[in-house]
Every structure is written in structure tokens, then in C-alpha cells.
Amino acid sequence: MRERRAAVEGAGPNACIPTGQELIAMLEPPHVAAVGAEPSAQSRAERVRDRMLAQDHATKALGMEIVAVGPGTSQVRMAVRQDMLNGFAICHGGLITTLADTAFAYACNTYNEVTVASGLGIDFIAPAKLGDVLEATCVERALSGRTGVYDVVVSNQRAQRVALFRGRSYRIKGRAVVDTMGLETPDNHA
């Protein structure tokens, strides 16, 4: 396992912090780990990402990069710009929430069923500052019927946690993000 070194409160200067991909592997629930990223599941997740991103004007406007997707997981990165700072010269909490919500959206739609948020909560742990590169790592925690629960950890480039987010999802019955051939479906083209 590749290790990053960072000073973590109470852990000392030599504490090991996992990378985003390592965090996903550590936090994956057993049913996701059992499926793994088999080629068809991974391919489906990537096709869904591409279809969503083609119409995702908010993500593009904020300069977010979809770093990785997999069944029930995603990683999204965003650099904190001047126009994202609030009156205290720190990144506006709504924009950190938007980053986490974007990772949540890409993770919960990887199964190719249109899925929307039914609720969310976020806790801000530390401020993000101009020039910080934030990465939101989302992992599915539970999936039952049409509902799911997803956790997102937002960290900066020093692997320091900035926010913890929990999203609740709802799948819309009978609506695919992309059809089985990878083409956009007419009923969700806006």
C-alpha cells in the first residue's frame, strides 16, 4: 500500500494516510468488494460517467475533474479558486458541499439507474484555502431496494480531512442513464 505521510491531530508527524483509491478499497462494503470492478461493471460505470459529464454544466463550471469511478464509488477533484472564497478568505462551504455531492452523484449512478439525492448531511472539519486541491472520495455504504447510503470524505492535497458528507439516494424505477449499447436514453435527455 502506497503511504502518504502527514501530521494528523493526535497521531504525530509520521502518521500514514491512505490515498483516495486506498480509502475506497478499505471502506468498500462486502457486496461491492465481492463484485469488484469486473470489466462489465467498470465499463458500465465509465459509460455512465461519460454520459452524465456531457450534460453536467455545474461540474464543468467549477473546474471539477472526475478522477475515477467504479461500482458504487467515485473520486472527484477541484482546485479552490479566488472566486470560491467567502468573506473570511476560505472556500465557501456550499462549494465544498457541491464537490461532495458531485462525488455522491457519480458513485450512486454507476449502476446505470437514474438515482437522485433524497437527503444529505455534511460536517466541516477544517477550512480549505486558495490554491488547495480538494478531492472527494465517495463509497457506497448500503444499498437496499431503491435506496442507498453513501459516505464522502473531502481531503486536501496534504491528505487532511476538510469535510465528511453522508448522502442518501433514491433510484428512479425503470430509468437508465445510458442504454445497453452506451447511447443516451431519450427519456433523460434534457
User: Using CA atoms, how far apart are residues 80 and 88, in angstroms rounded to an integer?
Assistant: 14
Q: What would the pLDDT profile of 104-140 be if each residue is shown by its tens digit?
A: 999 999 999 999 999 999 999 999 999 999 999 999 9
φ/ψ (deg, to 5) at 103: -60, -40
Fold of 18-179: Thiol Ester Dehydrase; Chain A (3.10.129)
How long a stretch of residues is the chain? 190
Residue 190 in this model has a pLDDT that exceeds 60:
no
Facing residues of 78 across strands? 134
Q: What would the pLDDT profile of 132-162 be if each residue is shown by its tens digit?
A: 999 999 999 999 999 999 999 999 999 999 9
Query: Residue 183 gets which letter from DSSP?
Result: P
pLDDT at 27: 54
pLDDT at 179: 78
Tell me which of 170 and 26 has the higher pLDDT. 170
Facing residues of 135 across strands? 77, 155
